[in-house]
Amino acid sequence: MAQIDLTLAPTGKKKSKKRSLWADAWLRLRKNKSAVAGMIMLATILIVIYSSPLYLDYDNDVIKPDLTQTLQFPAKGKLLGTDELGRDVLARILWGGRISIGIGVLAMMLSSIIGCTLGAISGYYGGKTDGIIMRSLDVFMAIPSLLLMITLVSIMKPTITNLIIALAIGSVPSVSRMVRAQVLYIKGQEFVEAIRAQGASDFRIIVMHILPNAISPLISQFVMEIAGLILAISGLSFIGLGVQPPDPEWGAMLSSGREHIRDVWHVTAFPGIALVLTVVALTLVGDGLRDALDPRMKR
């Protein structure tokens, strides 16, 4: 009984591509008004910000002071006014967004790679492995993350790379926990057992089957975590450990202008608004994704 001796000629033809889960989620996302608003906002922000090298010259527009034009109010030509070095606030916001969002995204990616690995191993194998990983993460959880970041940054020098690393380390424990919880839930589902019954290795099960299922409900959280990280950078900048000058960064701009908020509000207000808008957009998209990927929304 080695092979099924069915002589039926296989049809071979395939039906036109059906929409995938993601396409499905996309359809649902498109129907979600606030998510669409968020996506439009986010897309606009990203396009405007990331195309800034096309219309801004870093040396001349972004970092070059004009000490004759300091703290000018918004006017023609300098739509959002100038900062205490006479630099165009708008140009710095646009450029700074590349850095703020870039750091947030990269830190999130780093922490989700580490977090997913740890969470998946911990959740899948359970037992002692789980115990060791989780207890170590508990330790990191018990140190307030801002403090941890400050210590790390002050040990490693506040370069952008180190900021990303410090932010990522700060958020690894919570990411791992989320992933672990998902993995635990998915591991308990029958399909994992079904795949094991076919002889798949643990590696294959984790990478091909569990992680894709575990991550998609978390994607919205990851998106929102980016927002949290951008806020964390601004907190670090407040204590002077954020992105180092002359690079503009929203948090740093926001906190450096706070001294004159009563006179020249625009120096603080506009970076703040940019930050808030981005975070709002990210959150809206994240919320939308969560709903779109919610299995209960499936038929």
Q: Which is nearer to another protein, 121 or 192 (CB)?
A: 192
Is the Cβ of residue 101 or residue 252 nearer to another protein in the bound state? Answer: 252
Give me the residue label for tokens 């929409």: 19
37/10 Cα distance (integer angstroms): 47
Q: CA 232, CA 164: separation in Å to the nearest integer? A: 11
Is residue 290 within 8 Å of residue 217, measured between CB atoms? yes
The pair of three-digit structure tokens given for residue 102, joined into one six-digit string: 């870039």
- Min separation Cβ 142 and another protein, Å: 4
Phi-psi region of 35 (alpha: psi -120 to 50; beta: other; left: phi over 0): alpha
* Residue 92 near residue 249 (C-beta atoms within 8 A): no
Q: How far is the CB of 42 from another protein (least distance, A)?
A: 13
Instruction: Classify 242 in phi/psi space as left (phi over 0), alpha (psi -120 to 50) or beta.
Output: beta
Q: Around Cβ 43, how many Cβ atoms within 10 Å?
A: 12
Q: How far is the CB of 110 from another protein (least distance, A)?
A: 19
Supply the minimum distance, in Å, between the C-beta of residue 75 and another protein: 20
| Least distance (Å) between residue 285 CB and another protein | 12
Whichever of 112 and 234 has its CB closer to another protein, that residue is 234
- From CA 71, how far away is CA 87, in angstroms rounded? 8
Comparing CB distances to another protein, the nearer of 51 and 73 is: 73
Q: How far is the CB of 91 from another protein (least distance, A)?
A: 13
Q: Choose between 1 and 54: whose C-beta lies nearer to another protein.
A: 1
The span from the CA of 130 to the CA of 110, in Å, is: 21
Q: 76 or 135, CB closer to another protein? A: 135
Helix residue spans in the chain (DSSP H): 21-31, 33-50, 52-55, 89-125, 127-142, 145-156, 160-187, 190-197, 202-204, 211-215, 219-238, 250-256, 265-293
Smallest gap, in angstroms, from Cβ of residue 52 to another protein? 18
- Tell me the residue length of the chain: 299
CB nearer another protein, residue 125 or residue 260: 260
Q: Which is nearer to another protein, 111 or 145 (CB)?
A: 145
Closest distance between another protein and the C-beta of residue 39, in Å? 15
